[in-house]
Amino acid sequence: MIRQTALDDLTTLLGQRATRSKSELDQHGRSETHFPLMPPEMVVYPETTAEVSAILRLCAAHGIPVVGYGAGTSLEGQAQSPHGGVCVDFRLMNRVLQINAADMDVVVQPGLTREALNEALRATGLFFPVDPGANASLGGMASTRASGTTAVRYGTMRDNVLGLEVVLADGRIIRTGTRARKTAAGYDLTALFVGAEGTLGLITEMTLRLHGQPEATAAAICGFADMTDAVAAVIDTIQLGLPMARIEFIDAASVAAVNAWSGTDIPLQPHLMVEFHGSDAGVREQVETFGEIVADHGGTGFDWATRPEDRRALWAMRHNAYYAIKASRPGAMAIVTDICVPISRLADAVKQTQADIDASGIAGPILGHVGDGNFHAILLYDQAEPAQEETAKALSHRMVTRALEMGGTATGEHGIGLGKLDYMQAEHGQAWDVMQTLKMALDPANIMNPGKMLRQDT
C-alpha cells in the first residue's frame, strides 16, 4: 500500500512522464541478450536533475528499487528490474549543455547517445572516441565502464569521463571532478561512479574529454591463414609501439555471418581490421610498418581504405557483426562472452576457446578488441533445446574461469549486471567485500539497482 502511495506520488510529480503501461514496462524489462523479462513497476522520464533527486527521495523513503535506463543496449541485464520498482529512463535528458572547444571537453546529459554527441561535435574538429558499437547512451556507457574498438588508442569511459553530477540514493546531488585535466584533490569519486552500474547513484550530468579529429585516417582489413598468425601480428604491433586507433579480430565464422548480412565476399578466414590516426606522414609510416608486420605473419588481401565512405562501410560491417551473427541462426538466443586477458595470454585464450567451441557442437563466432586482450564469443543456442543452453553456459563458464586463471577479468567492457555476478567472488576475493561495504555506506537500504554486481543478501 505504501508502495502504491509512493508510485501515485511519482505520478503527481511527473504527470504523463510517469507510466505504468504494460507495453512500456515490458519494453524496459527486456535485454538485448538471454535474460528473461524483468519489468519495473513504473517507468519515469525525468527532465531535470531536481526531478531525479525528487524521485530518489521518494523511492528511498519507501524502499523502492530504482534502475537507471539509457538506450537499453547493455548486454548483462544491467537495465532490467529483477526486483520491480521504478525504472528511470533518461531519454528526455539528452542535451549537449556546453561544448568547450578550447578545453577539448563537453558537458552532456546522460541520455544523449554517442552518435548524437558526435553529430553535435561535427563542426568543432573534435570527437568523442569511445565506441562500443551500439549507439548507447553516454550515461549508460559511463555506468558500465564501456569501451569498444577505439579503447586501444583513446581509452575506455574510465579515461574519458572528467567529472560527473550524481544523485545519490538519498536524493543528495553531488559533483565529482573538475574541468581541469587532472586533479589530486581527494578520492577519485568520478572513477567510483564510472562502472558502478547505477548501484551507488544515478548520473545526471557528465563532463567528457574530447579528442581532435585526426588529420589523416587509414583503415584496412587483412586475412590470415590461422588465428594464431593474426594474434601474433597484433602482439608485434603492440610491442613495436605502433599507435593503432583500432585493431579488431574476427574469426572465419564471424566473417561468414558478416558476408551473409552485409553482402560482402570476404574470404572465410580469420581477419584483422585496423585503423590508424595521425598526420598524413605519420599514418603513411604506420601503414607501411603494419604492412611489414602483416607480411611477416603471412597476411593477405591487405588493402587500405582512406576514403571516409569506405572506412564507414568497414566499421559498419564490424559494428553489425553481433546482429549479423544473431541473424545467422534465426530465432537463436545469444550469450555474449567478454573476457579480457593479458596480451601475452591472448593467443592461448583464443585458441583454447575456439577448441572448446568446436568440440561443443554449438556455434560461437569469436571477435574482439584484441589490442586490449579483450574478445567475445557469441554463443548461439536454440531456446527450445535445454541441452544447447547448458552447453552455451558451460562454454561461457569455461571462458571466464580461463580468463581469471590467466590473470584477466570476467568482463572487459560489458560489465557485471546479472550475467557475471557469479564471478565477482572468484575475481575479487575480499575486495568484493570492500565493494559491499562501500555500497552499504552509500545506499544502506539497497534501493539502487538491487541484485546487480553485489551480493544478493546485501
109, 156, 353, 396: residue in contact with a second copy (rule CB under 8 A)? 156
Residue list 26-65, contact with a second copy (CB under 8 A): none
Q: Between 389 and 413, name the residue whose CB sits nearer to a second copy.
A: 413
211, 319, 351, 393: residue in contact with a second copy (rule CB under 8 A)? 211
**139 touches 49 (CB < 8 A):** no
Distance CA 128, CA 208 (A): 8
Residue list 283-302, contact with a second copy (CB under 8 A): 285
328, 411, 446, 449: residue in contact with a second copy (rule CB under 8 A)? 411
Give the x-and-dash track for 323-342 against a second copy (CB under 8 A). Answer: ---------------x-xxx
Instruction: Indicate whether 191 belongs to the interface with a second copy (CB under 8 A).
Output: yes
Gyration radius from the chain CA atoms: 22
| Least Cβ distance, residue 344 to a second copy (angstroms) | 4
Instruction: Indicate whether 133 belongs to the interface with a second copy (CB under 8 A).
Output: no
Give the x-and-dash track for 72-91 against a second copy (CB under 8 A). Answer: --------------------
Q: In this chain, which stretch among 46-54, 82-90, 103-111, 318-326 interacts with a second copy, using CB under 8 A?
A: 103-111
215, 296, 390, 405: residue in contact with a second copy (rule CB under 8 A)? 215
| Least Cβ distance, residue 410 to a second copy (angstroms) | 5
Residue list 355-384, contact with a second copy (CB under 8 A): 372-374
Q: In this chain, which stretch among 46-54, 142-150, 252-260, 318-326 interacts with a second copy, using CB under 8 A?
A: 142-150
Distance CA 135, CA 416 (A): 20
Q: Between 302 and 432, name the residue whose CB sits nearer to a second copy.
A: 432
| Least Cβ distance, residue 364 to a second copy (angstroms) | 21
214, 223, 365, 419: residue in contact with a second copy (rule CB under 8 A)? 214
Q: Count residues contacting a second copy (CB under 8 A)?
A: 90
Residue list 221-240, contact with a second copy (CB under 8 A): 235, 238-240
Instruction: Indicate whether 138 belongs to the interface with a second copy (CB under 8 A).
Output: no
| Least Cβ distance, residue 222 to a second copy (angstroms) | 22
Other Cβ atoms less than 10 A from the Cβ of 445: the count is: 17
Length of the chain equals 458
